Chains A and B, each alone.
Chain A
Amino acid sequence: MTSNGPPGHAGPPGLPAAGDVRLEVSGLGVRARRGGAEVVSDVSFQVRAGEVLGLVGESGSGKTTVALALLGHARRGLRISAGEVRLDGSDLLRLGPADLRRARGARVAYVPQDPSAALNPALKIGTQLAEAFRVHPGVVGDPAERITQIMQEASLDPSPEMLRRYPHQLSGGQQQRVTLAMAFACRPSLIVLDEPTTGLDVSTQRHVLNTVRSMCSSYGVAAVYVSHDLAVVGGLVSDVAVMYAGRVIELGSTQRLFAEPMHPYTRGLLAAVPSPERAELLTGIEGQQPRPGSRGPGCAFAPRCGFAMDPCLQHEPEPVFIEGRTVRCLRAQELSGTPAPRAGVPAGSGPPPAGAALSVRGVSASYGPVPVLSGVDLDVPAQSCLAVVGESGSGKTTLARCIVGLHKDWTGEITFAGQPLAGSARQRPQETLKRVQYIFQNPYTSLNPRKTIAQIVAQPLEQFARLSHRERTARVDAVLADVSLGSGYAGRYPDQLSGGERQRVAIARALVVEPDLLVCDEVTSALDVSVQAVIVELLRRLQHERQLAMIFITHNLALVRNIAQSTIVLSQGTVVEAGPVEQILENPTNPYTVRLIQDVPRLAAAGTGQIRSAVRLDPAGPGGPPAPATRPASPWSAP
C-alpha cells in the first residue's frame, strides 16, 4: 500500500512516514486567482520509491493541475492555495523561485503529453539531452557518459548519429523516449508523466510504458502518471487515485480498485472500458462534471450518480478508509458488496442480410507521390456494420475519405447501391451525397463555431430536402431527441457543449437526412473513455433502429466487438485480414493482427506483482498479458 493516510487532513498526516516514502502530498488545493473558485481541493497521496501512482480522471477533473502543482507550478490565473508537496521530507511549495528552479529538472522532472511540441524542433537531440546537465552542473559525473547510459535505458540507440538527429527525424515513440531520457537524466526523486502515451499507437504505447516501468523501478524514483485511460494505467501503476471535480474520490491499490471499485464513479469508469475479449454493453456515464466555481454543496458526482440519495446532495462526503482504500462516498460502506453488473450485447439480431450496400474493389490512393492505399477490397453488407481497424498511418482515414469523396486522388472502383461512385463529392449527384453520410473524427473542428446547433443540424435538410420551416424544425427536434439531446440544445453554440455532446450533434447532422450508409471515422478518439462508451452505444442503437449500413473506423480493437459484425484490418495501406469479428478476434491468422490484439491495453493486466516482473525492454518481445485477474480469459488469450 502506498497510501495509508486518509486524504482528509491538511497538514502532515499523523502516521509516521515509512522509510521509503518519497513523495507525500497533503491537502493540496489550487484556486483561481480571481474569484477564488476551487479548481482542485484537498488532494492527498503518497508514493514510495520505485512505484508509480496513477492519477486518473476525465478531462476537467483537475488531474493536470495537480500534476503541475507537484512541480510547484500553477497555470496562469491559478494559484496553489493550500497543502504541502513533500519530496524526500522537504516541502517543495515552500521553496523560493530560485530554489524551485534548481529543484525542477534535478529533483522533480516532467514528461509532457505531446513530445513533438515539447522538443525544440531546431535543436539536435544530443543538444537537448545535454541541456539538463548545463542547467544542473555537478548532478552527475560525466555528462557524455550519462547520456549514453540514459539513452540505453530509454531503449534508444546511443550512437553519435542518433544524437545528431533533429526531433522531426524521429518517430513519435522515439520522441517520447527522448523526453523520458531527459526527465531521468539528472536522477530525480519524482517524475510526473502527463499522459505521455496519448498520441501513440497501441504498440508504441506499450513499449513506452514498459520503458517507464523499468526506469522507475531501477532508479527507485517515485512517479505520478496522469491519464484519462484506466486501461493504460492498469498495467503500469501500483496505486490509482481517481479524480473527479478536483478531488480524489477513490485511492487504493490498482488490483483492489479494479477488482472491486467502490465509488460509483470508479465503477462507471471501469464499465466504460471496452474489452477485446467479450462483447459487452458499454455503459458510459451520462452528463458532465461541474465546472470549478459551480460546484454546489454535497457530493460533486451526485447529479450523475445512480446511487445518490438526499444526503448526497447536501453533505460533501468526507474520505473514509475501507477495505484497503480511501473513498469519498457517503454510501461506500453499504455499496461495497454490490457487484457491478456488466450486461452482454444482445447477440446478433437476425441473420446478416444479403447484398452489399457498398463495395470497394482494388482501391489505391496516394497523397501526391506517396502511396497510402494499395488495392483495398471491402464489402459493407446492407444493415450491418463493418469495422476498419489499423494503426495510425495505416490509411484507414484515407479509405474513408475516398468513400465519401473528400479525397480525390484514388483509382479502383467503389460501388454504392449498385452504382459506381465518382471520384470526388463535387461530381456526385445530390442523391448519393444524401445517402452516404460521414462523421468526422474530431467534434471540436467539425461543427462551425459561429452557428447554433439547430442551424448546424438543419443545414443538410436545407441542402437536400425542400421542407417548410416548420417541417424542418420538427425533423431537427426529432433527430436531436434521438441522439439524447433535448430541444434546449437547439439554440446553443458548439463551444457551450462538451465533447460528447458535440459528437452527438455531428451524429444528428448525419442522420437527419436519413442516409443509408454512415461512415464513422474514429469518432471516439477525441473523447474520454466514459463518453466513448456512451457514443458507441448510441451508434450501435441507431444503427440497429434505423437499419443503417455503417463503416466504423477505429484504432481500438476492443471497441470492434461492441459494434461491428465484420471487420477488416489495415496495415500500410493493404488489407491484411478480413472476416467476421469473432473470427478475427479469436483466431487471427495474420501476425500483424495478432500483435494488434496483444497490444490492446486491458484492465485485466492490473496488479502490482506484474509491474516488477514485466520489465521488458525488447520491443519485439511477445509480451502477452498475464492471466486476467478479474475476468475469465478467452481461449485465445492464454499463452
Chain B
Amino acid sequence: MAAVVPGNAAAPAVPAVRTRRREWLAALATAARTPRGAIGLTLAGLIIAVAVIGPYLAPHGIAEIVGPDLAKPSAHFPLGTDYLGRDVLSRVLAGGWVLLLMAASATAIGVSLGATAGISAAYLRGVADGAIMRTVDVILAFPQLVFALLLLSILGPRLWLITLAVGITHAPQVGRVIRAATLDVSEQDYVKAVELQGMRPAKVMAKEILPNLVTPLMVEIGLRLTYSIIIIAGLAFLGFGQNPPAASWGELINDNRAYLAVNPWAVIAPAVLIALLTIGVNTYSDAIARVAIGVDRRPEEAALLDDLGPREAA
C-alpha cells in the first residue's frame, strides 16, 4: 500500500530541537540588514555612543572656565568657548546622557501605560473600552508640549516630573495603536481556545495576547523615543531642564542662541546631534516596521512562503 494507515504510523523522526526564539531580536536583526535600517542604526548608534562615553572623553569640566569668552574654534578649543569662557566641546560631550536617559524613561513609561490601556480596552470591550478610550480622547485634545508645560508649571520643573509628564503624554497615542492591534489578535482562535479553558482575562492578556504584539510595540518604542527626544530637548530649550551649570543639548542651544553670530558652533553642535539622533532612531524604527509588515521580507523567502504556505484562509 502506498498509503500508511495513520494509527500504525511511527511518528517521523524529528530531532528534538528546542529553539528559544526571540521574535523581536530576529526583527531587529533583519531590520538592521536592510539599507534603511543599517543607516538608521549606525546614525543612532554613533550619537548614543557620543552621549554615553562623551563625559569620560571631555577634556575639561562642564563648569570650568578655561579660556576667553566666545573664542573661535582653535586647536585648543575645537568648538570654541561659550559666553562664560567654558569649553563648548566638553559641554556638548557631557550634555547628551541626561537627555537620552530621560527620553528612554519617558518612552518606557509611555509605552507601558499606553500598551496596558490599549490591550485592556480592546480585550475587555464594553465599559472598560469606553472609559479608557474617552480618557484617551480627552488627553489627546491637548497638544503634547502644552500638556507637559501645564504639568510642569503647576508642579515645578524637576527632571523626574519632566520625564513622567512626557511619558504620560505618549500613552494615549500608544494606546490607540495597541488597541487596534489587540482587536485583531483577540479575535484569533487561539485566544478563544484559552477562554474556553476558563483562563482569567488578566492572564489571557499577559500570556496570550502580549507576546503577539511584539512587533507593533517595537515600532511604537522607536517612534516614541524619537518624540521623547524632541519634546525633552524642546522643554530644555524653553528652560525646563537641569539646573546650571549642568546643561543638556536642548539647554545648550537655548544658552548660546544669543551669541549665534559670534560662535555658532555652540548652537550647531548640539542641534546637529539631536537631529541626527532623531533621524537615526526614526529611520531604524521605520525599517523595523517595514520588516514587520513584510515589505522588506527577503524576496526568496516571500516567494517560498506564498508558494508553500498552505491556504491559510478558512
CB of B75 closer than 8 Å to a CB of A: no
B303→A77 contact, CB < 8 A: yes
List A residues 480-536 near B (Cβ within 8 Å): 481, 484-493, 498-499, 509, 522, 525-528, 530, 534
Bound-state CA distance A37–B208 (Å) is 37
B212 at the A interface (CB under 8 A): yes
Q: Which residues of B contact A35 (CB under 8 A)?
A: 300
Tell me if A341 counts as interface (CB < 8 A to partner B): yes
Docked CA distance A438–B198 (Å): 13
Residues of B within 8 Å of A307, CB to CB, are 2
Question: Which residues 22-66 of B have a CB within 8 angstroms of A?
Answer: 23
Q: Min CB distance, B35 to chain A, in Å?
A: 17
A264 contact set on B, CB distance < 8 A: 2
Residues of A near B6 (CB, < 8 A) are: 284, 286, 484, 534, 537-538, 541
Instruction: Write the A47-91 contact mask toward B (1 if CB under 8 angstroms, else 0).
Output: 000000000000110101100000000011110000000000000
Residue B15 lies at the interface, judged by CB distance under 8 Å to chain A: yes
A336 within 8 A of B: no
Task: Please determine whether B197 and A499 come into contact, CB atoms closer than 8 angstroms.
Answer: no
Q: Which residues of A contact B11 (CB under 8 A)?
A: 481, 484-486, 488-489
B293 at the interface (CB under 8 A from A): no
**A592 touches B (CB below 8 Å):** no
B308 and A425 contact, CB distance less than 8 A: no
Q: Mark B1-19, 1 if CB is under 8 A from A, else 0.
A: 1111111010111111111
Q: Contact check, B308 vs A291: say whether CB atoms are below 8 A apart.
A: yes
Give the residue name and chain of the A residue nearest to B198 (CB).
Answer: A433
- List, in ascending order, chain B residues with CB within 8 A of A198's CB: 311
B73 smallest CB distance to A (angstroms): 50
* CB atoms of A446 and B190 under 8 A apart: yes
In this assembly, does B124 line the interface, its C-beta being within 8 Å of a C-beta of chain A?
Answer: no
Query: Is B211 in contact with chain A by the CB < 8 A criterion?
Result: yes
Q: Are A76 and B197 in touch, CB under 8 angstroms?
A: no
What are the residues of chain B within 8 A of A406 when measuring CB–CB?
192, 195-196
Contact B197 A77 (CB under 8 A): no
Question: CA separation between A440 and B189, bound complex, in Å?
Answer: 7
Once bound together, how far apart are the Cα atoms of A55 and B197, in whole Å?
43
A463: B residues at CB distance < 8 A: 194, 197-199
Kindly state whether residue B193 has any CB partner on chain A within 8 Å: yes
Given A77-B301, A463-B197, A440-B307 contact (CB < 8 Å): no
Size band of the interface chain B makes with A = 35 or more
Select A283's contact among B1, B304, B306, B311, beta carbons within 8 Å.
B1
The answer to whether residues A286 and B301 also contact, given A341-B1, A430-B198, A447-B190 and a CB cut-off of 8 A, is no
Smallest CB separation, B10 vs chain A (Å): 8
A45 at the binding interface (Cβ < 8 Å): no
Q: How far is the CA of A140 from the CA of B302 in the complex (A)?
A: 39
A292 touches B196 (CB 8 A): no
Is the beta-carbon distance between B195 and A32 smaller than 8 angstroms?
no
Q: Is there a chain A Cβ closer than 8 Å to B310's Cβ? A: yes
> Counting CB contacts under 8 A, is B299 at the interface?
yes
The answer to whether A488 touches B307, judged by C-beta atoms less than 8 angstroms apart, is: no
Residues of B within 8 A of A305 (CB): 2
In the complex the two chains form, what is the Cα distance from A452 to B198 in whole Å? 21
**Does A448 sit at the interface, judged by CB under 8 A?**
yes
Residue numbers in A under 8 Å from B19 (CB-CB): 491, 493
Q: Which of B3, B17, B303, B312 meets A32, CB within 8 Å?
A: B303
Q: How far is the CB of B61 from chain A (nearest CB, A)?
A: 50
Which residues of the partner chain B approach A538 to less than 8 Å between Cβ atoms? 6-7
* Contact of A498 with B314 at beta-carbon distance under 8 Å, contacts A34-B299, A285-B4, A450-B212 already known: no
- Docked-complex contact B300 and A265, CB < 8 angstroms: no
B221 to chain A minimum Cβ distance, whole angstroms, is: 18
Cross-chain contact B310 with A283 (CB below 8 angstroms): no
Instruction: Give min CB distance, B156 to chain A, whole Å.
Output: 44
Q: Are A34 and B300 in contact (CB under 8 A)?
A: yes
> How many A residues, CB 8 Å from partner?
88
**Chain B residues whose C-beta falls within 8 Å of the C-beta of A492 in the assembled complex:** 14, 17
Distance (whole angstroms) from the CB of A333 to the closest CB of chain B: 16
**Partner of B299 from A33, A271, A528 at Cβ < 8 Å:** A33
| A380 CA to B312 CA, complexed, in Å | 31
- Residues on B with beta carbons closer than 8 Å to the beta carbon of A219: none
Bound form: Cα–Cα A392–B198 in Å: 29
Is A367 among interface residues, defined by CB-CB distance under 8 A? no
- Identify which of A281, A433, A441 gathers the most chain B CB atoms within 10 Å of its CB: A433
**Does A444 touch B at the CB level, under 8 Å?**
yes
> Is A78 in contact with B303, judged by CB distance below 8 angstroms?
yes
Q: Is the CB of B190 within 8 A of A404?
A: no
Q: Report the separation of the CA atoms of residues A484 and B11 in the bound assembly, to the nearest whole angstrom.
A: 5
Residues of A within 8 A of B15 (CB): 488
Q: Does A77 contact B300, Cβ atoms closer than 8 Å?
A: yes
Binary CB contact string for chain A from 281 to 299 against chain B (1 if under 8 A, 0 otherwise): 1011111000110000000
- Interface presence of A601 (CB below 8 A): no
Q: Which residues of A contact B307 (CB under 8 A)?
A: 39, 60, 62, 64-65, 75, 78, 292
How many angstroms from the CA of A260 to the CA of B197 in the assembled complex?
49
In the assembled complex, the Cα of A93 lies from the Cα of B11 at a distance in Å of: 44
Residue of B nearest to A526 (CB): B314
Q: Which chain A residues border B304 with CB–CB below 8 Å?
A: 32, 37, 39, 77, 291-292
B197 adjacent to A464 (CB under 8 Å): yes
Least Cβ–Cβ distance between A618 and chain B, in angstroms: 31
Task: List chain B residues, Cβ under 8 A from A447.
Answer: 190
Is B313's CB within 8 Å of the partner chain A?
Answer: yes
- Could you mark each residue 16-29 of chain A with 1 if its beta carbon is under 8 Å from any beta carbon of chain B, else 0? 00000000000000
For residue B16, which residue of chain A has the nearest CB? A488
Contacts of B18 in A (CB 8 A): 452, 490-491
Say whether, besides A34-B299, A76-B303, A442-B189, A449 and B195 are in contact (CB < 8 Å).
no
A445 close to chain B: CB less than 8 A: yes
Enumerate chain B residues within 8 angstroms of A433, measured Cβ to Cβ: 196-198
Give CA–CA (A198, B3) in the complex, Å: 25
Residues of A within 8 A of B23 (CB): 450
Q: Which of A65, A281, A534 has the most CB atoms of chain B within a 10 A radius of its CB?
A: A534
**Contact present for A448 and B208 (CB under 8 Å):** yes
Q: Decide if A283 touches B3 in the complex (CB within 8 Å).
A: yes
**A317 in contact (CB, < 8 A):** no
In the complex the two chains form, is A537's CB within 8 Å of B306's CB?
no
Q: Within the assembled complex, what's the spacing in Å between the Cα atoms of A229 and B194?
A: 33
Q: Is the CB of B4 within 8 A of A283?
A: yes
Whether B21 is near chain A, meaning CB under 8 Å from some CB there, is yes
- In the assembled complex, A418 has its CB within 8 A of some CB on chain B: no
Task: Please report which residues of chain B, range 284-313, place their CB below 8 angstroms from some CB of chain A when the two chains form the complex.
Answer: 298-304, 306-313
Give the residues in chain A near B188, CB-CB below 8 Å: 445-446
**Closest A-chain residue to B15, C-beta based?**
A488
Of residues 173 through 211 on chain B, the ones whose CB sits less than 8 Å from some CB of chain A are 188-190, 192-199, 208, 211
Complex alpha-carbon distance, A446 and B193, angstroms = 7
Question: Which of A281, A451, A487, A499 lies in contact with B5, CB distance below 8 A?
Answer: A281
Contact of A440 among B21, B193, B302 (CB under 8 A): B193
20 intermolecular pairs with C-beta atoms under 8 Å apart: A33-B299, A64-B307, A76-B303, A264-B2, A271-B3, A283-B4, A284-B6, A291-B304, A425-B196, A433-B198, A445-B188, A445-B189, A445-B312, A448-B190, A448-B211, A490-B18, A492-B14, A493-B19, A526-B311, A537-B5
What 10 A-B pairs are tightest by C-beta distance, nearest first?
A488-B14, A77-B303, A491-B18, A486-B11, A264-B2, A77-B299, A283-B3, A450-B211, A446-B189, A59-B310
Q: A306-B3, A492-B17 are in contact. List 20 more A-B contacts (CB 8 A).
A: A76-B306, A77-B301, A268-B2, A268-B3, A283-B1, A283-B5, A292-B307, A341-B1, A406-B192, A437-B196, A445-B190, A445-B312, A448-B211, A463-B198, A463-B199, A484-B9, A490-B18, A491-B17, A526-B314, A537-B7
